[in-house]
């Protein structure tokens, strides 16, 4: 089966065409600057990448260019669009309505729209992507896969905030969690590796990238996660502050003589390791600067590792133990020294990292010693493949 996986942002659209039997990517690409001017970067597997500057006034135009590229005689990978069997859409927020992926119907579209309030930058763009695909591929089944769905199994004591209960009832103010597709994919793989798919299990998944979150997974279900009502919560990130005392928001607004919105923009876009270091949000730049003696870059890296250790420790506590830990995403898969730094905090669990085994980037590996009490793994995430699998399973 050929599955077209779509991840639509406000001015961008990422896609992959995946063969569900071999699980191989047939082509992938990115439309950027939709609504501004437009650029399509299309990479058919085994052929050269094609970059086209084309006017993309809206997402429908972008999808139309992608479909043209996919079936083009030179850079294409299929003869006809009818070869595409299904479309899987990444949707950021499913609120409390969606605990699983669903086949998209008019009712589903309405329910996604009702979650717009919770993800005003992302859900409307996701819906636009669905509408554009429906217009151009009217008879092809489509599936919505939600970033929040995996975390809907969290117990009440984990997802409620200590605010008047009415705000949860009326406005659905609660922890939702994100990166669910990745946490689900990596935790399934980890349970498969340690042979505990059908047994009682306690694992912790560290999705560490530009956006980062850690999830506690008990018996295959998310029981707590570090992101909250929005993806601003939890760990220190590339440009996001992670958890801070909420009183800082009002305090800074007064000091800077700006609005609460402005402070939230600072916390989302100018904080995190970039804000601390003044160097970059990219961990490669930070490590280089730190090695060259930049103190603030060192502080940023120390803070990142410390917060990761804090969350891992709290999840060991709430699950009363842990069988295995996995690192994934850009930093988790590639940053050898950061994995080591985080695990150095975990000696109390009897965790011991093997420096030779930890010397890996971007590939699946066990990085703990034979006698480590808890095994630690690197497991590359693949959200697009996870979306393709969910799509096939549903149709
Ligand atoms: P992501 O958001 O998952 O793409 O992760 C982005 C982060 O991963 C950046 O901070 C990068 O520094 C880090 N990263 C990605 N690739 C590498 C690599 N090959 N070596 C070290 N860090 C990497």
Instruction: Kindly list the catalytic residues.
Output: 147
Ligand 1 pocket test, candidate residues 331, 333, 360, most atoms within 8 A of CB = 331
d(CA 210, ligand 1 centre) in Å? 7
User: pLDDT of 138-173, one tens digit each?
Assistant: 999 999 999 999 999 999 999 999 999 999 999 999
Please give the distance, rounded to the nearest whole angstrom, from the Cα atom of residue 258 to the centre of ligand 1. 33
Q: How many angstroms separate the CA atoms of 305 and 172, rounded?
A: 32
Q: What is the pLDDT of residues 18-76, one digit of tens each?
A: 999 999 999 999 999 999 999 999 999 999 999 999 999 999 999 999 999 999 999 99
Q: Are 361 and 231 in contact (CB under 8 A)?
A: no
Q: Are 45 and 2 in contact (CB under 8 A)?
A: no
Measured from the CA of 284, which atom of ligand 1 is nearest? 12
Give the distance from CA 11 to its chain's centroid: 18
Find out whether the beta carbon of 334 lies less than 6 Å from any atom of ligand 1.
Answer: yes
Instruction: Give backbone dihedrals phi and psi of 106, rounded to 5 degrees, phi first.
Output: -60, -40
For residue 283 and ligand 1, the question of a CB distance below 6 A is answered with: yes
Question: Do residues 217 and 251 lie in contact, with contact meaning Cβ atoms separated by under 8 Å?
Answer: no
Using alpha carbons, list the distances in angstroms from residue 322 to 104, 190, 327, 329, 388: 37, 13, 14, 21, 30
Our answer on whether the CB atom of 335 is closer than 6 Å to any ligand 1 atom is: yes
Distance 187 CA to ligand 1 centre (A): 20
Contact 92, 113 (CB under 8 A): no
pLDDT tens for the 395 residues of the chain, in order: 999 999 998 899 999 999 999 999 999 999 999 999 999 999 999 999 999 999 999 999 999 999 999 999 999 999 999 999 999 999 999 999 999 999 999 999 999 999 998 888 889 999 999 999 999 999 999 999 999 999 999 999 999 999 999 999 999 999 999 999 999 999 999 999 999 999 999 999 999 999 999 999 999 999 999 999 999 999 999 999 999 999 999 999 999 999 999 999 999 999 999 999 999 999 999 999 999 999 999 999 999 999 999 999 999 999 999 999 999 999 999 999 999 999 999 999 999 999 999 999 999 999 999 999 999 999 999 999 999 999 999 99
Ligand 1 pocket, residue 331 CB under 6 Å: yes
Q: What is the pTM of this model?
A: 0.95
Q: Is any atom of ligand 1 closer than 6 Å to the C-beta of 361? A: yes
Q: How far is residue 98 from each of residues 81, 104, 109, 132, measured CA to CA in Å?
A: 30, 12, 12, 22
The best mutation among 300, 327, 334 to test binding of ligand 1, ranked by most ligand atoms within 8 Å of the C-beta, falls on: 334
Strand partners, 44: 27
Q: How far is the CA of 189 from the centre of ligand 1 (A)?
A: 21
| Ligand 1 atom at shortest distance from the alpha carbon of 238 | 10
């Amino acid at each position: 089966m050929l599955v077209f996986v779509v991840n639509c942002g406000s001015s961008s659209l990422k896609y992959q065409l995946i063969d569900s039997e071999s699980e191989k990517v047939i082509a992938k690409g990115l439309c950027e600057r939709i609504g501004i001017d437009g650029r399509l970067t299309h990479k058919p597997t085994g052929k050269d990448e094609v970059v086209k500057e084309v006017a993309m006034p809206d997402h429908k135009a972008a999808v139309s260019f992608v479909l043209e590229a996919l079936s083009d005689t030179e850079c294409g990978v299929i003869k006809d669009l009818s070869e595409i069997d299904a479309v899987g859409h990444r949707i950021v927020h499913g609120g409390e309505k969606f605990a699983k992926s669903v086949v998209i119907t008019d009712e589903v579209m309405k329910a996604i729209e009702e979650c717009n309030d919770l993800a005003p930058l992302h859900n409307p763009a996701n819906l636009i992507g669905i509408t554009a695909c429906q217009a151009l591929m009217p008879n092809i089944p489509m599936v919505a896969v939600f970033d929040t769905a995996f975390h809907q199994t969290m117990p009440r004591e984990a997802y409620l905030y200590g605010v008047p209960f009415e705000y949860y009832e009326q406005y659905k103010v609660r922890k939702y969690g994100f990166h669910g597709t990745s946490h689900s994919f990596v935790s399934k793989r980890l349970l498969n590796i340690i042979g505990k798919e059908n047994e009682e299990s306690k694992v912790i998944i560290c999705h560490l990238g530009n956006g980062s979150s850690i999830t506690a997974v008990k018996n295959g279900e998310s029981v707590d996660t570090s992101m909250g009502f929005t993806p601003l919560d939890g760990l220190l990130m590339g440009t996001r502050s992670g958890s801070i005392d909420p009183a800082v928001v009002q305090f800074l607004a007064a000091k800077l003589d700006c609005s609460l919105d402005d402070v939230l923009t600072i916390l989302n876009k100018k904080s995190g390791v970039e804000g601390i270091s003044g160097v970059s949000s990219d961990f490669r730049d930070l490590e280089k600067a730190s090695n060259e003696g930049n103190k603030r870059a060192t502080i940023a890296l120390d803070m990142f590792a410390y917060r990761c250790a804090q969350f891992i420790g709290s999840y060991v506590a709430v699950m009363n133990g842990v069988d295995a830990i996995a690192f994934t995403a850009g930093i988790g898969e590639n940053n050898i020294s950061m994995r080591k730094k985080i695990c150095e905090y975990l000696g109390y669990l009897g965790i011991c990292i093997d420096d030779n085994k930890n010397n890996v980037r971007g590939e699946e590996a066990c990085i703990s010693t034979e006698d480590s009490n808890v095994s630690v793994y690197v497991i590359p995430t693949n959200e697009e493949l996870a979306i393709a699998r969910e799509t096939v399973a549903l149709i």
